[in-house]
Amino acid sequence: MAGGTGLLFPEGGVQRLHDGGGRPSDQASGSSHGDSQLPVAGAEPVVAHAYAICQPEAPVVPAGTFQVEPVSLTPEAVDADLSVAWRLVLKRALDVLVSLIALAVLAPLFLLMALLIKATSAGPVFFGQRRVGMHGQVFRMLKFRSMVINAEELRPRLEVLNESNGPVFKMRLDPRVTWIGRFMRKYSIDELPQLINVMFGDMSLVGPRPPLPSEVARYEPWQHRRFAVRPGLTCFWQVSHGRYRISFDEWIRLDLKYIDQWTLVVDLCLIFRTVGVVLRGTGE
C-alpha cells in the first residue's frame, strides 16, 4: 500500500485447498492428480499496521493469558479501512473492464491462433491447468496450448535440465514446445486466454503468477504470503530482464514487494511495462 501499508496474512494454521466453488479440491483429498494436501495459510488480507509480519511458528500462549487488543475506532483508522476497500473495488472494476475490452478486440487473433494450433499439431486449442490462487483456492488457468499433447508425461525426463533453483520448472529451450508455441511464448500470446480467468475473478491483471499445487506443496511457510492477493497476468517478475535467471526466493520477494507496496498506480505502471515487453518480443 501507499505509504508503507501492505496486505499481509495474520497468524494462521493449515487450510485445505478449495476449488473456486468452495468445495475441497482433489489436490487436498489426494485424488488421481497426485498432489498432496497443501499447507496454505489463508485469511482475508489485512492492513500492515495491524499485523507486522506473518509468524508461521507463533509461540503457544497458555490458556487464560491471551490479551485482546482493543479495536481502534478512530476516524483515521476507519478512513484507512475505507480507502483500502474502495481501492480494491476499483482494482476489480479495472480488471473486468480491461478484460472485456481486450477479449473483444483480440477476438480475431484468438481465431487465428486457434487455426494455427489445430493445423500444426494434434490436440485441443486451449490448455487448462490447475493453479493455486488467492487464499489457497485452486482454479483452472487457461492458456493457448504451446506444447505437444503429452507434455506432462514427458516432464519427469526433463527435470534434470530444470533451470530454476526452486520448486518451479523452467526451461527456455523446452523440446516439448511446438514451433507455433515458441512464437506465442516469445510474444506472450499463449497467456492471453487468462483474460477469461480475469473476467471471472480467478485472476487479476496484476498480481503474483499462480503456481502449480505440486509446487506449493514444497513452499516454505514465509512464501505462502503471496496468496494474500489474486494471482495476475503480470507482476514484477514478469517484466524483469532475464527473469529465468532470477532465483526462486528473489521471485517470491518480488511478489511480496508488490503485496506490500500495492497501489493502483503500481498496477498501471506494471501493465504498461508488460505491453512493452510483449511488443519487443522479449518473452522467454
Q: What is the pLDDT of residue 63?
A: 45
30, pLDDT greater than 70: no
How many percent of the chain have pLDDT more than 90? 45
User: pLDDT tens, 140-197?
Assistant: 999 999 998 877 777 777 776 766 667 777 777 788 889 999 899 889 999 999 999 9
226 compared with 15, residue with greater pLDDT: 226
Paired strand residues for 7:
47
Q: What is the pLDDT of residue 109?
A: 96
User: pLDDT tens, 212-240?
Assistant: 999 999 999 999 999 999 999 999 988 88
124 compared with 53, residue with greater pLDDT: 124
- Mean pLDDT, the chain, integer: 76
Q: What is the pLDDT of residue 76?
A: 60
36, pLDDT greater than 50: no
283, pLDDT greater than 50: yes
Per-residue 3-state assignment (H helix, E strand, C coil) for the chain: CHHHCCEECCCCCCECCEECCCCECHHHHCCCCCCCCCCECCCCCEECCCCCCCCCCCCCCCCCCCCCCCCCCCHHHHHHHHHHHHHHHHHHHHHHHHHHHHHHHCHHHHHHHHHHHHHHCCCCCEEEEEEECHHHCEEEEEEECCECCCHHHHHHHHHHHCCCCCCCCCCCCCCCECHHHHHHHHCCHHHCCHHHHHHCCCCEEECCCCCCHHHHCCCCHHHHHHHHCCCEEECCCCCCCCHHHCCHHHHHHHHHHHHHHCCHHHHHHHHHHHHHHHHHCCCC
Q: What is the pLDDT of residue 162?
A: 66
State how far the Cα of 246 lies from the Cα of 227, in Å rounded to an integer: 20
Q: What is the pLDDT of residue 158?
A: 78
Within 10 A of 23 (CB to CB), how many other CB atoms are there? 10
Of 57-66, 80-89, 204-213, where does the model show the most confidence?
A: 204-213
The model carries a pTM of: 0.68
User: pLDDT tens, 115-153?
Assistant: 999 998 888 999 999 999 999 999 999 999 999 887 777
